[in-house]
Amino acid sequence: MNKEQNTNAESFEQCLKCTVCTVYCPMVAVNPDYPGPKQAGPDGERYRLKNPVFYDDALDLCLNCKRCEVACPSNVKIGDIIQSARLKYSSKKPKLRDFILANTDIMGTMASTMAPVVNFTLGLKPVKAVMDGVLAVDHHRTFPKYAGQRFETWFKRYALKKQEEYTKKVSYFHGCYANYNNPKLAKDFVKIMNAIGYGVNLLEKEKCCGVALISNGFKNQAIKQANLNLGSIRKAVGRGEPILTTSSTCTFTMRDEYAHILELDNSDVRSSIALATKFIFELVDAGKVKLVFKDDYRKRIAYHTPCHMEKLGWAIYSTSLVKMIPGVDFNMLDSQCCGIAGTYGFKKEHYEDSQKIGESLFRQIRDLNLDMVATDCETCKWQIEMSTGVQVENPISIIADALDVEATQKANR
Amino acid sequence: MRFDTVIIGGGLSGLVAGIDLVRKGQKCLIVSSGQSALHFFSGSFELCNKENDPMKAIASLDACHPYSKLGAERVEALAARVKPFFAELGLNFKGDASANHWRMTPLGVMKRAWLTLDEYATFESETEMPWKKVSVLNIDGFLDFHTSYIAAALEAKGVEVAVASLSAPQFDKLRESPTEMRSTNISKTIIGEFVDALAEQINGKTDGSDAVLMPAVAGLTGTAEVERLKELVKVPFHFLPTLPPSTPGIRIQMMLKKYFQQQGGVYMLGDSVTEGRFEDGKLKSIKTLNNEDTEFEADNFILATGSFFSKGIVASQNGVAEPVFGLDVDADSDRTNWYQRNMFDAQPYMTFGVATDEEFRAKKDGRPVVNLYVVGSVLSGFNAIKDGCGAGVSILTSLNAADQIMNL
């Protein structure tokens, strides 16, 4: 039996009660109120199937990091069992705060329209106090800044026309963060793809992948958005274009959570959805494209493996790409949860656990005396920047900064 | 993606082979489908524990046993490399291949062992204990260590035993979830200043004892906490194993993996090999579940996928099979011959595994795959429990395969 043959929530019969998952659960280590993945997952599921009354609200503490699944020697989908149970049995109504955190598109559209005002306001102490007191969004948290111009707007205005020059095309799922908060990342992606001879298309329609909706209990809305995304993705795949992303969590959600948690059939397009670093590395590895880097780029960089990247098993592509830059002094951080888990760590009730979980990672980062941390997840970026003061960048932005664009264009003509 | 060697399986066998190869400059990939048997580590490795002299015991093993295939001289030479191999990683063991020593199980039973991690109690004799009086201490509320069994076993050997427990607010907090109060969760609290406070508490409970025995619940990520306890506790201080999971075993797994990665090895956890491409009697490349169409090519491959528990071999109603490549297996085709009615007898299924040639190369359709080496528990021809040789076979066949790959 391999991982492939064990993909549904009923697979808990394979659980041997060996407790290896509990060893690697970041929450159990800091908060004994959480019963642990074995108890919350396969053990609890037996009871819940008998009678939903056995559902335990402590399951809300699960980070959905999936590190239990990665560790399990018997291939039990422990994390999926827990997430599905939360959506199915939890009687707790999501709060206004959860709605705000989960609806990244609505918030992003409103906020980026009035970005300077919103960024200013969200940074004010009295506003933070009100958010902490009324909404229970922890006051330690700094909201990511909203960009004045969304990536989509920029792309349509300044980059769309240029894409016609290319015969080879890819589609880009930018996600909320690259669109509203960090358009530079999306622009960096376009810059690299163009330099290696690929044109970029946006999807016909794109909504948030839905990861925050799933974790905040809005399953129906998540299904709606997933179906809209899958529709656009199918059209792009029909044109022969792979769907590339720059966020490990969006990628993981669309490839795995759509099928396992939202119970949608994405099998026809799943293998077409990939992180840009995987796509680019494979082209370079096969000798189909060349990357030429600047001579004077010098940085000491460490890579942090986001939980969903660990689950995808794709850290090798991002790290191999960053290691290709001649001036990079590369370090690998221990693979562990940083504690933020998307919107989880923003909630006042989770702030303390969130910081405790990441503590050893922050210590390792501080001790390494780095110029920069590289990681493929935006929420890990916020957490590590807030907790260590060290700058964090997506590998795509690092490649883009180190790339000699003209020489790369020439090499790929 | 190209590597010199791709290793399938990331437990003790796969990591030993991988580390030996990266040390010699090879570019290695390990694909692991989940955490390994090291999580159930007893504190000791066994070479062959049927007799006091392991080499003498090895001489009487069946011809199909991996040790018999290696030959006694080779076994002895490989065994001599093991202690320095681990010492270089900061993992210190006592014992050697000239004579087995004794160790105590969590239930108080005495067993022979080859190498035991420094911090555990070991004994020169099965019956004569080195102490007149010992203190056996447990963590308040910890259910995976039973002081009554340990005390009874020691008392039967003429030792006076004082049982006591250690308490602290940290432990009380863990007790709120009693089923999850495992050795590893306890070890996550025994860090920093609490180590000193715990040592002080231990010192208060060693009244007139020659030694202190405690469950192995400290030192998850390294040996610093254990060293500190040893330094501060005023009488000789030893661990006894707990029921699983094993804190020192997980430390070994993590330290081996970290070392392998630091030396440039790539370790992919939570993935499965889905297929292999064979050409002219050679394995050319593999694909994995997570990496879909990506081919991982290599000159050599090592199969270190473990036995039934790790699904290196699987049993169904119709037979026993090797699930990764469909390799030939040595297994009885008649299911009624798989087991003995008495559970404690030597069970024939325990000897089932992948069939190999004299060079430990896997056989597929009767012919050897000349660049696919098989190591550890997935090998056929031995009963790890009855022969008391599981770790020895894992480590020795892995070092042997690494040598073969490097043409040593």
Give the nearest partner residue to B294 out of A23, A282, A312, using CB atoms. A282
What 8-state DSSP symbol labels residue B379? Answer: B
Contact A324, A284 (CB under 8 A): yes
Contact B91, B117 (CB under 8 A): yes
In-domain check, residue B71? yes
Q: Is A284 on the interface with B (CB under 8 A)?
A: no
The whole-number pLDDT of residue A264 equals: 96
Mean pLDDT check: name the lowest of A123-132, A176-185, A367-376, A388-397: A123-132
Residue finishing a domain among B216, B240, B264: B240
In this prediction, residue A131 has a pLDDT band, given cuts at 50, 70 and 90, of low
Q: Calculate how close chain B gets to A177, using CA atoms only, in Å.
A: 25
Average confidence score pLDDT of chain A: 89
What 8-state DSSP symbol labels residue B165? Answer: E
B266 shares its domain with B198: no
B39 shares its domain with B74: yes
The H or E element spanning position B187 is: helix B183-187
Chain B neighbours among A 313-342 (CB < 8 Å)?
A: 313-314, 316, 332, 334-335
CATH of residue B203: 3.40.50
In-domain check, residue B132? yes
Regarding an ipTM greater than 0.90, the answer is no
B28 shares its domain with B82: yes
- Taking an 8 Å cut-off on Cβ atoms, the answer to whether A22 and B272 are in contact is no
pLDDT in tens, A230-251: 999 999 999 999 999 999 999 9
Task: Tell me how far apart the alpha carbons of residues A312 and A322 are, in angstroms, rounded to a whole number.
Answer: 18
B259 shares its domain with B387: yes
The H or E element spanning position A214 is: helix A211-215
Q: For strand B273-279 and strand B282-288, is the pairing parallel, antiparallel, or unpaired?
A: antiparallel
In-domain check, residue B184? yes
Task: Tell me how far apart the alpha carbons of residues B116 and B250 are, in angstroms, rounded to a whole number.
Answer: 15
In this prediction, residue A66 has a pLDDT band, given cuts at 50, 70 and 90, of very high
Contact A342, A273 (CB under 8 A): no
Q: Please name which of B120, B288, B72 lies closest in space to residue A4, comparing C-alpha atoms.
A: B288
Q: Is A23 on the interface with B (CB under 8 A)?
A: yes
- Taking an 8 Å cut-off on Cβ atoms, the answer to whether B34 and A23 are in contact is no
What letter represents residue A123's amino acid?
Answer: G
pLDDT in tens, A272-310: 999 999 999 999 999 999 999 999 999 999 999 999 999
The tokens for A213 are 């909706």
- Residues of chain B with C-beta less than 8 angstroms from the C-beta of A312: 290
Q: For strand B296-303 and strand B282-288, is the pairing parallel, antiparallel, or unpaired?
A: antiparallel
In this prediction, residue A369 has a pLDDT band, given cuts at 50, 70 and 90, of very high
In this prediction, residue A10 has a pLDDT band, given cuts at 50, 70 and 90, of low
Interface test with chain A among B3, B41, B177, B225, by most A beta carbons within 10 Å: B177
Q: Which residue is closest to B2 within chain A, CA to CA?
A: A285
pLDDT of A6 > 50? The answer is no
The whole-number pLDDT of residue A126 equals: 72
- Taking an 8 Å cut-off on Cβ atoms, the answer to whether A72 and B271 are in contact is no
B256 shares its domain with B397: yes
The whole-number pLDDT of residue A135 equals: 67
- Between chain A and chain B, the number of residue pairs with CB atoms below 8 A apart is 113
Interface test with chain B among A17, A19, A333, A357, by most B beta carbons within 10 Å: A19
pLDDT of A159 > 90? The answer is yes
Residues 6+ apart with CB under 8 A from B227: none
In-domain check, residue B103? no
Mean pLDDT check: name the lowest of A87-101, A140-154, A302-316, B102-116: A87-101
CATH of residue B376: 3.50.50.60
Q: Which residue is closest to B33 within chain A, CA to CA?
A: A73
- Taking an 8 Å cut-off on Cβ atoms, the answer to whether A310 and B270 are in contact is yes
Which range of residues forms the domain containing residue B21?
2-92+251-405
B217 shares its domain with B289: no
Task: Tell me how far apart the alpha carbons of residues B41 and B18 are, in angstroms, rounded to a whole number.
Answer: 20
Give the nearest partner residue to B180 out of A2, A28, A310, using CB atoms. A28
The tokens for B181 are 């109060």
Beta bridge partners of A201: A171
pLDDT in tens, A297-349: 999 999 999 999 999 999 999 999 999 999 999 999 999 999 988 777 778 88
B17 shares its domain with B71: yes
Mean pLDDT check: name the lowest of A83-92, A126-135, B237-246: A126-135
- Taking an 8 Å cut-off on Cβ atoms, the answer to whether A22 and B250 are in contact is no
B264 shares its domain with B401: yes
User: Number of structural domains, chain B?
Assistant: 2
Q: Calculate how close chain A gets to B197, using CA atoms only, in Å.
A: 20
B359 shares its domain with B322: yes
Q: Is B169 on the interface with A (CB under 8 A)?
A: no
B134 shares its domain with B80: no
Mean pLDDT of A253-275: 95
- Residues of chain B with C-beta less than 8 angstroms from the C-beta of A28: 177, 180, 185
Q: Please name which of A351, A373, A346 lies closest in space to residue A361, comparing C-alpha atoms.
A: A373
- Residues of chain B with C-beta less than 8 angstroms from the C-beta of A282: 294
Task: Tell me how far apart the alpha carbons of residues B5 and B22 are, in angstroms, rounded to a whole number.
Answer: 9
- Taking an 8 Å cut-off on Cβ atoms, the answer to whether A20 and B39 are in contact is yes
- Residues of chain A with C-beta less than 8 angstroms from the C-beta of B266: 316
Q: Which residue is closest to B40 within chain A, CA to CA?
A: A18
pLDDT of A387 > 60? The answer is yes
CATH numbers and ranges of domains, chain A: 3-89 (1.10.1060.10), 299-405 (3.40.50)
Q: By three-state DSSP, how is residue A54 classified?
A: helix
The whole-number pLDDT of residue A112 equals: 66
pLDDT tens, residue order, chain B (408 aa):
999 999 999 999 999 999 999 999 999 999 999 888 899 999 999 999 999 999 999 999 999 999 999 999 999 999 999 999 999 999 999 999 999 999 999 999 999 999 999 999 999 999 999 999 999 999 999 999 999 999 999 999 999 999 999 999 999 988 887 877 889 989 989 999 999 999 999 999 998 999 999 999 999 989 999 999 999 999 999 999 999 999 999 999 999 999 999 999 999 999 999 999 999 999 999 999 999 889 999 999 999 999 998 889 999 988 999 999 999 999 999 999 999 999 999 999 999 999 999 999 999 999 999 999 999 999 999 999 999 999 999 999 999 999 999 998
Beta bridge partners of B361: B373
Neighbours of A173 (CB within 10 A): 23
Neighbours of A69 (CB within 10 A): 25
Contact B288, B272 (CB under 8 A): yes
pLDDT of A8 > 80? The answer is no
B285 shares its domain with B395: yes
B39 shares its domain with B131: no
Task: Tell me how far apart the alpha carbons of residues B35 and A21 are, in angstroms, rounded to a whole number.
Answer: 9
Adjacency order of strands within the sheet including B237-240: B160-166, B133-139, B211-215, B237-240
pLDDT of A4 > 50? The answer is no
In this prediction, residue A96 has a pLDDT band, given cuts at 50, 70 and 90, of confident
Q: By three-state DSSP, how is residue B278 classified?
A: strand
Q: Which residue is closest to A7 within chain B, CA to CA?
A: B289
